[in-house]
Structure 1
Amino acid sequence: MAGNTARPGASVTSRSLALLGAFDDEHRRLTLTELAARADLPLPTAHRLVGELVGWGALSRTRDGHYVVGRRLWDLGLLAPVQTGLRELASPYLHDLYGATLATVHLAVRDGLEVLYLDRLRGNTSVPIVSTVGSRLPLHATAVGKVLLAHAPPEVRQEVLGNLTRITAYTITQPGTLQRQLARVLRDDHATTVEEMSPGACSVAVPIRSGTRVVAALGMVVPSLKNDRPRLVAALQVAARGIGRRLPAETSEPQSR
């Protein structure tokens, strides 16, 4: 993911947000010079604002002079409804799934054109995992993403289908092929991937419903789906129904666009 592409506004708030926005999955530790460059700010301005952000707790300075996201931002993030509501309700079911399968278990929602991972329990297998709590991945290359994309508004599907980036040799980049897969997701009520996000990793996911509306996806990552797919789908569906029964019918998790 790249840094900010638009110049920050003149206000202190917009410049401070530009500094915080300089961090992403690929840039978790930044020097002051890197922060200033990625936020498109003069070095003296960045130095002053970074000092204030460190004092408030939004950033922390490591012993080697790098800056990282501070604990206070994490504490604030935990107060967001997308965390405190669905994540807390789903947590016991994720632990049950992990205990029964020892596979990596994911809870995710759609955030615009990406999957936002709300929770993850890491399995003890050697399957490569690229997701982390709070990370975002493409909708078209993940099982949880395909579930959410199949149930997304038509304009979201159209935009995703128009920009299918290749991540591995097995990523689906043909719009027609993905459209047929999404139709099967709606028919079979689950989605799968085979090495589309990471070589050596397969995934399977099902929708979580609040009433009749799909609000999230529950998935697992395993080395292979050849023999265990029916068992894994059944386990996921039982857990998803359990989570759904605890959600109020009017639940509306924030999903941009």
Structure 2
Amino acid sequence: MADALSAPTLRRPATALARRRKRMDRLIGLFAYASTAIGLFFLGWLLVTLIGRGAAAFDVTIFTKSTAPPGSGGGLLNAMVGTLIQTVLGTAIGAPIGLLVGTYLAEYARNSVLGNTVRFVSDILLSAPSILIGLFVYQLIVINTGGFSGWAGVVALAIIVIPVVVRTTEDMLRLIPDTLREAAIGLGSPKWVMIRFVCYRAAMQGIITGVLLAVARIAGETAPLLFTSLGNLNWSTDLNEAMPSLPITIYQYAASPYDDWIALAWVGALIITVAVLAINIVARYLIRTEPSRK
């Protein structure tokens, strides 16, 4: 009789607890959906405004003419070429360094004090504001060489690339099962041969994805270039002088009082957005196809 009476009594607190958990789960879910909707709303608003303003002023001369004085019907050719040169060179310098550092952390220094220190510094550099990197390169190169230059901008962008590639390379190499490494070593392969022909091949798609994400980040950087390459409204591909770039041109044109320059700023912002979006789509595609490829 006592057992029969105690069973419903014990069941009631459990039922009440389950109801509270369900209510809390629904509340958190509602909050998550609301937050997502708010974020998507502002993102959509931003994209619609950008496409509307940029497409209205879009013209073929954007890709055929350089920047010109107000009312002269100039384009953004020199700015796009300058951005392309600095982005490609910054990636070409920073990506191999990041690849080697990431390989060292994943294959040679997993639990060592030096490896943990390098990893900690890389993580700090990854989250550091880009303007601080620009100030660092300004002190290191611009002041010592006596002027702004494209090379200073390249170095600043390369420093931004390095920690991104370090993190993705280390993560991708750590995902490779140790049995593959042991099999290669068991066949008599030196460690560097195992890393090159086993680890790199297995992680290549993820590493390329990390490089693409780094390119997407530096393509729209403005702050570090203001302290290094400075920008140039004239045509210039000389890395020893101040060099034009699309982000700086957008910054200068958007703050100007001239309507045609402001319109060009919107077009430049649209071009950067489309380019970065395309790079991110490619990177996401590579990430998704990585498991199926394996």
Q: More relative contact order in 1 or in 2 (CA 8 Å, sep 6+)? A: 2
Q: In terms of Rg, which structure is larger?
A: 2
Q: TM-score, normalised by structure 1?
A: 0.23
More helix, by proportion? 2
